[in-house]
Amino acid sequence: MTLSTATQRDNLLNSLLPELGQLIPAQSIITKVEQLHAYECDAFTTMRQLPLLTVLPETIEQVQHVMRCCHRLEIPVVARGAGTGLTAGSMPVEHGVLLGMSKFDQIHDIDLDNRTALIGPGVRNKAVSDAAAPHNLYFAPDPSSQLACSVGGNVAENAGGIHCLKYGLTVHNILELEFVTIEGELITLGCAALDAAGYDLTAIMTGSEGLLGILVKIRVKLLPVPASTRVMLAAFATIEDAGNAIAAVIGAGIIPAGLEMIDQTGICAIEELMHAGYPVDAAAVIICELDGSIAEVEDELSSVIRIFTDLNATDIQIAETAEESTRIWAARKAAFPALARLAPDNYIMDGTIPRRALAQVWKQINQLADQYQLQVVNVFHAGDGNMHPSILFDSSDDDQHRRAFELGTRILELCIEVGGTISGEHGIGLEKINQMCLQFSATELQQFHALKQAFDPKQLLNPGKQIPTLARCAEFNAMHVHHGEMPFPHLERF
């Protein structure tokens, strides 16, 4: 910290603290640098920044007060849920307030007749399903981070999970949002009914990464727990066969509850850690979960077995007991710890592509990985085309670090080229902000900025995230082409 920023920090603290103190108890305000380190990054740990201070409000009035103070003093505010984001979305901004929403962790009401829960944004994802379980209900979005992440974070990122192929993303599973504007006004979007009057602003708020307002209350939908669930694991000798099998299941009119795919490196890494009986000689495995009434699931199970067999599955394991199902899933969910054993660092991509391009893109990713001399492992939500290629590297090696991030950009470009997107569920944050310049035109980005302006004219909410400025894009495009040409001239286009 240079002297001038230290002085600036002190000045800001001197003007902000007395104002905050009018309504926020001292123990809810953190200013000590040692303690602020806990808030300097999310799960994308490569990017870090200390905030001016952290406030942990407990009531909506306190959130409103923080917003009014910051608005008056023009101090940026970054909301934070559980900090499990993978794109530096809740990373603080310099001289800004970090608003930690962890104390908003009450489940206010579970309405059994309407099958909804009214909760605070700090409630953990899994806690909602746990609270609903005695009533045979659950909250469908199930990101792998569900033990830790908050529902506020899920709404802000429009999080998905292994079951979103059939049950939708967060946006499909919420009815009503209460949020506080940067001016401190409390506004309700949506309602307890299935639709609301006026513009569909719950859709705009979902996935807005804390740039439009602070969520303080959320009404989520609860679904009945299916009567029957069956899980199977099918092995394939080639990636093409596995890709065709995925397309054929969907083409046959079956929507599995989960349809996941893992490549050979992934299989081996997982098997070594979990000993789950995954076939280590397969080029790819598919995990398919079917759910519904007992009768329905048995019908679909025989159809899927027939499809996989017709399309050259080399091995099909069908879990006969709940323990066997858990074993198959637990191994899949341990993918990230398993990969972590292969290299010091792991850069997880989140591009989503049309399913038909799966095999082709997978191949091209492997080619790119060879060219960049890095290993890429694919463990992903195949049913909805959401790829999670993980680039393995060692960040202590500067050159590897640079190559890893360049390879990441190339992979995302590839996703855009085949008609996909740079992010299916993790969001943009700061981590993918440059790649937004590849996906959107200048006019589209300006439209995003205009929309942001309607909520936050002074640009104080999570500034610098999600939507790049045109200046930033100009810089990135110049640099990007430069990098593409210099070390790997032959890689420009396929």
Partner 1 sequence: METVAARQRPITQAQSTDLTIDQATNQTQALVDQVRHAYVHQQPLMITGGGSKSFYGRSVEGDQLSVSDYRGIINYEPSELVITARAGTPLHIIEAVLAEEGQMLGFEPPHYTPHATLGGAIACGLSGPRRPYSGAARDFVLGVTMINGKGELLHFGGQVMKNVAGYDVSRLMCGAQGTLGVLLDISLKVIPQPASEQTRILSGNQKQIQNLLSKWGRLPLPISATLFHNDQLYVRLSGTESGTHSAALSIGGDQIIEDQLWQQAKELQHPFFTSEQTCWRLSLPPAAPEIPEYLFKNQLIEWAGAQRWLYSEADHCNIIRWAENNGGHASLIDRNTSDGYTLFHPMSTGLMALSQRIKKSFDPAGILNPGRLYPDL
Ligand X SMILES: Cc1cc2nc3c(=O)[nH]c(=O)nc-3n(C[C@H](O)[C@H](O)[C@H](O)COP(=O)(O)OP(=O)(O)OC[C@H]3O[C@@H](n4cnc5c(N)ncnc54)[C@H](O)[C@@H]3O)c2cc1C
Q: For partner 1, which residue of 62, 102, 125, 439 counts as binding (CB under 8 A)? A: 439
Stretch of 6-14, 39-47, 57-65, 158-166 contacting partner 1, by CB under 8 A: 158-166
What residues contact 307, with CB distance under 8 A and at least 6 apart? 245, 248, 249, 252
What residues contact 98, with CB distance under 8 A and at least 6 apart? 36, 39, 51, 53, 54, 55, 78, 80, 90, 92
Taking the least distance from each CB to ligand X, the nearer of 97 and 374 is: 97
Using rule CB under 8 A, residue 409 touches partner 1:
no
Q: For ligand X, which residue of 62, 84, 378, 423 counts as binding (CB under 6 A)? A: 84
Taking the least distance from each CB to partner 1, the nearer of 91 and 249 is: 249
Taking the least distance from each CB to partner 1, the nearer of 327 and 388 is: 388
Q: Are 177 and 189 in contact (CB under 8 A)?
A: yes
Count the residues in the chain. Answer: 494
Between the alpha carbon of residue 223 and those of residues 116, 120, 300, 320, the distances in Å are: 9, 19, 21, 25
What residues contact 365, with CB distance under 8 A and at least 6 apart? 376, 378, 387, 389, 411, 414
Using rule CB under 8 A, residue 116 touches partner 1:
yes
Taking the least distance from each CB to partner 1, the nearer of 73 and 192 is: 192
Taking the least distance from each CB to partner 1, the nearer of 333 and 356 is: 356
Using rule CB under 6 A, residue 93 touches ligand X:
no
Using rule CB under 6 A, residue 153 touches ligand X:
yes
Report, in Å, the least distance between residue 201 CB and partner 1. Answer: 7
What does 116 bind: partner 1, ligand X, none (CB cut-off 5 to 8 Å by kind)?
Answer: partner 1
Using rule CB under 8 A, residue 189 touches partner 1:
yes
Q: For ligand X, which residue of 159, 235, 359, 445 counts as binding (CB under 6 A)? A: 159
Q: What are residue 314's DSSP bridge partners?
A: none
Instruction: Give the separation between CA 198 and CA 365, rounded to whole angstroms.
Output: 44
Subset of residues 250 to 309 that bind partner 1, contact rule: CB under 8 A: 250-255, 292-296, 298-300, 303, 307
Q: Are 256 and 308 in contact (CB under 8 A)?
A: no
Q: For ligand X, which residue of 57, 76, 81, 279 counts as binding (CB under 6 A)? A: 81
What does 121 bind: partner 1, ligand X, none (CB cut-off 5 to 8 Å by kind)?
Answer: ligand X
Using rule CB under 8 A, residue 482 touches partner 1:
no
Taking the least distance from each CB to ligand X, the nearer of 64 and 462 is: 462
The residue behind tokens 């609301």 is: 196
What does 436 bind: partner 1, ligand X, none (CB cut-off 5 to 8 Å by kind)?
Answer: partner 1
Stretch of 91-99, 321-329, 453-461, 470-478 contacting partner 1, by CB under 8 A: 453-461
Subset of residues 15 to 44 that bind ligand X, contact rule: CB under 6 A: 42-43
Q: For partner 1, which residue of 129, 206, 400, 409 counts as binding (CB under 8 A)? A: 206
The vertex-216 CA angle with 30 and 86, nearest 5°, equals: 70
Rg value, the chain, Cα: 23
Taking the least distance from each CB to partner 1, the nearer of 35 and 293 is: 293
Using rule CB under 6 A, residue 460 touches ligand X:
no
Amino acid in the structure at residue 84: T
Report, in Å, the least distance between residue 264 CB and ligand X. Answer: 22
Taking the least distance from each CB to partner 1, the nearer of 168 and 342 is: 168
Q: For ligand X, which residue of 62, 116, 145, 439 counts as binding (CB under 6 A)? A: 145
What does 207 bind: partner 1, ligand X, none (CB cut-off 5 to 8 Å by kind)?
Answer: partner 1
What does 258 bind: partner 1, ligand X, none (CB cut-off 5 to 8 Å by kind)?
Answer: none
Report, in Å, the least distance between residue 370 CB and partner 1. Answer: 26
The two structure tokens encoding residue 59:
């009531």
Subset of residues 340 to 399 that bind ligand X, contact rule: CB under 6 A: none
Subset of residues 183 to 212 that bind ligand X, contact rule: CB under 6 A: 209-210
First-last CA distance in the chain = 45
The residue behind tokens 């996906």 is: 439
